[in-house]
Chain A
Amino acid sequence: MSNIWKFGADVDTDQIVPGRYAPYMRPDKDVGDAAFIEARPDFNKQAVPGDLIVATDNFGCGSSREYAPYALRRRQVGAIFANSFARIFYRNAINLGIPVFVDAELVEKLLAGSEATLDLEDGTILIDGNRHALPEVPNFAKEIIDAGGIVPYVREHGRFPNS
């Protein structure tokens, strides 16, 4: 059973991790500790491994800073659901092996829900007792996420997906 952290549209990467908290500025700190530190202090203090992030449109817009999705990975976020993602964030999240799902219907149900259980192997999510199928993930993204990220994928296969 996981908590659902709910967000609106256009959550930018400055909200996820402000530039002032970049690993570059604080090399001896865990950037996971800075996840949503100013924009959502409740998430920052209370999020636990497996929790889900749900947002409407254009999640992760703005800066290309990979330490934003990396901070969410450090917090062991179970998956991110959104109506749509900003391009660079989507690619970074997949490269880091974070499950990302684009599905407006599921987003609506999750935003109305109070708790959920994600079953990636089964390809389903249980929201307040009701089971729903997870959306299809583009094949190249699935291959990378299944490998645990683009680095383990390339180390294993010696090439990029679809090449």
Chain B
Amino acid sequence: MSGLTLSEQIISNNVGRPVRAGELVVVEPDTAMGHDSLTPGIIKTVKEQLGVEKVANRDQIVLVMDHVAPASNVGTAQNQNFIREFAREQDVRLFDVGRGICHQVLVEEKIARPGTIVVGSDSHSTSYGAVGAFGSGMGSTDIALVWATGKTWLRVPETLRIQVSGRFRPGVDAKDLALKLCRDLTIAGATYMAIEYHGMDWLPMNGRQTMSSMAIELGAKAGIFPPDGEVAERFDVPDWLYVDSDAIYAQTLEIDLDELEPQVAIPHSVDDVVDLSDIVGQKIDVVFLGTCTNGRYEDLRDAADILQGKQIHPHLRLLVTPASREELQKAIADDTLNILLSAGATLTTPGCGACMGRHQGTLADNDICLSTGNRNFKGRMGHPTSQIYLSSPSVAAASAITGEITDPRLLTVSL
């Protein structure tokens, strides 16, 4: 009998018998996360539609306020109080406004851990794969059913293996690799599959989080790193979770990082990706540095290294939204935040920020934004005529100085 993929190992452990890709199984997720945008509806489904007054397992549930944080209008304010009341009544964990983006907080709190199943009311729940968890996004009704019954059903996914060789060259990072995968595989290229990332035991956790958060942009159900390197140093890894040399993969894609150029996604699809050199000079109005994909300390530091002693272009806004309070505190502890603010950045509350166009930097008609986020769908950040480009933090920072999409490597040379 051949070995198991990481997804098969994690799901097998949960159900207590070996399972293979293609099987439909009922699992008890270790965690079912809800954020402020959808939790009010989830609570109503649990109570009013399912008729359940007490959740099945309070330890399974985590609530995070990140999508509109703090509240932007009376509607969101009322909804947030409704969530706070539910958290107190059911005695479940709530990370309130300012704590950070759900996907960052659950990793920092070690709620997402190697070998766990974490489902969330958010498509970017694939992020938990960065720490060797099976993380997957679901709709409100599925999350409500977990809260009510403790269980959910899922189909054990086939696995797409990304086999990486080489190392990032200067000016290239995990975001460029994530965008390159979108470019090569397309927005539907991993639908129904789990992705495993191999050959990157050297990649720090923040880079893994960038990659795993964007697994969903390929349609994937999960995006899992083997629990090695920094993850193995920071987390306990169960002995049954390891890379099985004879696991069966549905598909393998090989990528040589030595050949990888900085990548930029252009409006309005995350798989419409070009080499940076093909889009330099594109004028921009806003740079957004943040999100679950690229809002961590290391991302802010990459930007600060480029913005040190510089000013952003006078016609441009630079929005900085740290992924969490802890990440913000790291940026305060050294000179990172001060460099960004001195360059002209606007700092907003840790959370999702402008990513969904709801607050803290909504785009106006015809605004052009260069974002370090993960989605550039039409109208996502505001007016339907606004445009979103996606890049790494380094490219975003260099572009904030010039007001147009700029290669940070050339910027350094010219100064």
Question: Which of A20, A62, A96 touches B123 (beta carbons < 8 Å)?
Answer: A62
| Residue ID in chain A nearest B120 by CB atoms | A64
Any A CB within 8 A of the CB of B57: no
Q: Contact check, A14 vs B38: say whether CB atoms are below 8 A apart.
A: no
Contact B380 A66 (CB under 8 A): no
A:43-91 near B, CB below 8 Å: 57-58, 61-67, 69, 84, 86-88, 91
Instruction: From the candidates B51, B139, B358, name the one contacting A19 in the complex (CB within 8 A).
Output: B358
CB pair B188 A61 closer than 8 Å: yes
Name B145's contact: one of A14, A140, A154, A162 (CB within 8 Å): A154
B16 beta carbon closer than 8 Å to chain A: no
A155–B145 Cα gap in the complex (Å)?
11
Q: Contact: B188 with A66, CB < 8 Å? A: no
Asked whether B45 is an interface residue with its Cβ less than 8 Å from the other chain, the reply is: yes
| Contact A57 B384, beta carbon cutoff 8 Å | no
The answer on a CB contact under 8 Å between B68 and A25 is yes
In angstroms, Cα B40 to Cα A26, docked, is 12
**A149 → chain B closest CB, angstroms:** 8
Residues from 107 to 128 in A contacting B, C-beta threshold 8 Å: none
Cβ of B145: which chain A residues have Cβ within 8 Å of it? 150-151, 154
| CB of B355, distance to nearest CB on chain A (Å) | 9
In this complex, the interface size class of chain A, counting residues with CB under 8 Å from chain B, is: 35 or more
Cβ-defined contact, B377 with A84, below 8 A: no
Are A87 and B219 closer than 8 Å at their CB atoms?
A: yes
Given contacts A24-B68, A27-B75, 4 further A-B contacts (CB under 8 A): A14-B380, A25-B72, A38-B384, A150-B142
- With contacts A24-B40, A24-B76 taken as known, whether A88 is within 8 angstroms of B137 at the C-beta atoms is yes
A161 to B144, CA, bound (A): 17
Interchain Cβ contacts under 8 Å between A and B, 20 examples: A15-B377, A18-B379, A22-B37, A25-B68, A25-B75, A27-B40, A27-B78, A57-B188, A58-B191, A62-B123, A62-B377, A66-B38, A84-B191, A87-B191, A87-B219, A140-B153, A150-B145, A155-B51, A160-B152, A160-B153
Does B99 reach chain A (CB closer than 8 Å)? no
Query: Are A88 and B123 in contact, with the CB atoms below 8 A?
Result: yes
Known contacts A61-B188, A88-B123; A25/B50 CB under 8 A: no
B141 A150 Cβ-Cβ under 8 A = yes
Interface string of B35-70 (1 = CB under 8 A from A): 011101100010001110000000000000001100
B interface residues, Cβ below 8 angstroms from A = 24, 26, 36-38, 40-41, 45, 49-51, 67-68, 72-73, 75-76, 78-79, 121-123, 125, 137-142, 144-145, 149, 151-153, 187-188, 191-192, 219, 221, 269, 356-358, 362, 375, 377-380, 382, 384
Q: Is the CB of A12 within 8 A of B377?
A: yes
Residues of B within 8 A of A161 (CB): 153
Give the CA-CA distance A96 to B24 in the complex, in Å.
Answer: 20
CB-nearest residue of chain A to B141: A95
Q: Which of A64, A67, A154, A160 contacts B122 (CB 8 A)?
A: A64
Interfacial chain A residues near B358, Cβ < 8 Å = 19-20, 22, 25
Nearest chain A residue, comparing its CB with the CB of B193: A87
| Docked-complex contact A58 and B375, CB < 8 angstroms | no
Q: When the two chains form their complex, are residues B123 and A63 in contact, meaning their CB atoms are under 8 A apart? A: yes
Is B357 a contact of A20 with CB atoms below 8 Å? Answer: yes
Interchain residue pairs A-B with the least CB separation, the first 7: A66-B139, A92-B139, A19-B356, A64-B123, A58-B188, A14-B377, A64-B137
